Amino acid sequence: MRLPLLLTFALMGFSVAAAATVNAQAGDTLQRMAVRYGTTTQALVRANPSLPQGPLRAGTRVTLPATAVRVWSVRAGDTLSGIAQRERTTVAALVAANRGLDQQRPLMIGQKLLLPTPRAAAAPRSAAGAVARPVSIRVTAVMPVSGRVTTPYREGHLSVDLAAPTGTPIRAAAPGVVTQSYFDSKSGWGWTVLVDHGNGLQTRYSHNSANLVSVGHRVEAGQVIARVGSTGNSTGPHLDYRVTYQGQPIHPFSLY
Domain spans of the chain, in order of start:
5-114, 148-255
pLDDT at position 127:
40
pLDDT at position 18:
44
pLDDT at position 2:
40
Amino acid of residue 37: Y
* Local confidence band at 245 (pLDDT 50, 70, 90 cut-offs): confident
Q: Are 48 and 28 in contact (CB under 8 A)?
A: no
The whole-angstrom separation of Cα 150 and Cα 148 is 6
Does the pLDDT at position 34 exceed 90?
Answer: no
> How many CB atoms neighbour CB 205 within 10 A?
27
3-state secondary structure of 52: coil
pLDDT at position 206:
97
In this structure, the chain runs to a length of 256
* Local confidence band at 217 (pLDDT 50, 70, 90 cut-offs): very high
Query: The domain 148-255 belongs to what CATH superfamily?
Result: Glucose Permease (Domain IIA) (2.70.70.10)
Give 163 or 9, the one with higher predicted confidence.
Answer: 163
Pick the CATH number of 5-114 from 1.10.1200.10, 3.40.47.10, 3.10.350.10, 3.90.1150.10: 3.10.350.10
Dihedral, CA of residue 239, residue 31, residue 38 and residue 219, to nearest 10: 20
Q: What is the DSSP string of the chain?
A: -PPPHHHHHHHHTEE----EEEEPPTT--HHHHHHHTT--HHHHHHH-TTS-SSPPPTT-EEEEPGGG--EEE--TT--HHHHHHHTT--HHHHHHHSTT--TTSPPPTT-EEEPPPPPPPPPPB-TTS-B---SS-------S---EEEE-SBTTB-SEEEE--TT-EEE-SSSEEEEEEEEE-SSS-EEEEEEEEETTEEEEEEEESEE---TT-EE-TT-EEEE-B--SS-SSSEEEEEEEETTEEE-GGGG-
Q: In whole angstroms, how large is the CA radius of gyration of the chain?
A: 20
Q: What is the pLDDT of residues 104-136, one digit of tens each?
A: 788 888 888 877 655 544 444 444 333 344 445
Q: What is the pLDDT of residues 164-187, one digit of tens each?
A: 999 999 999 999 999 999 999 888
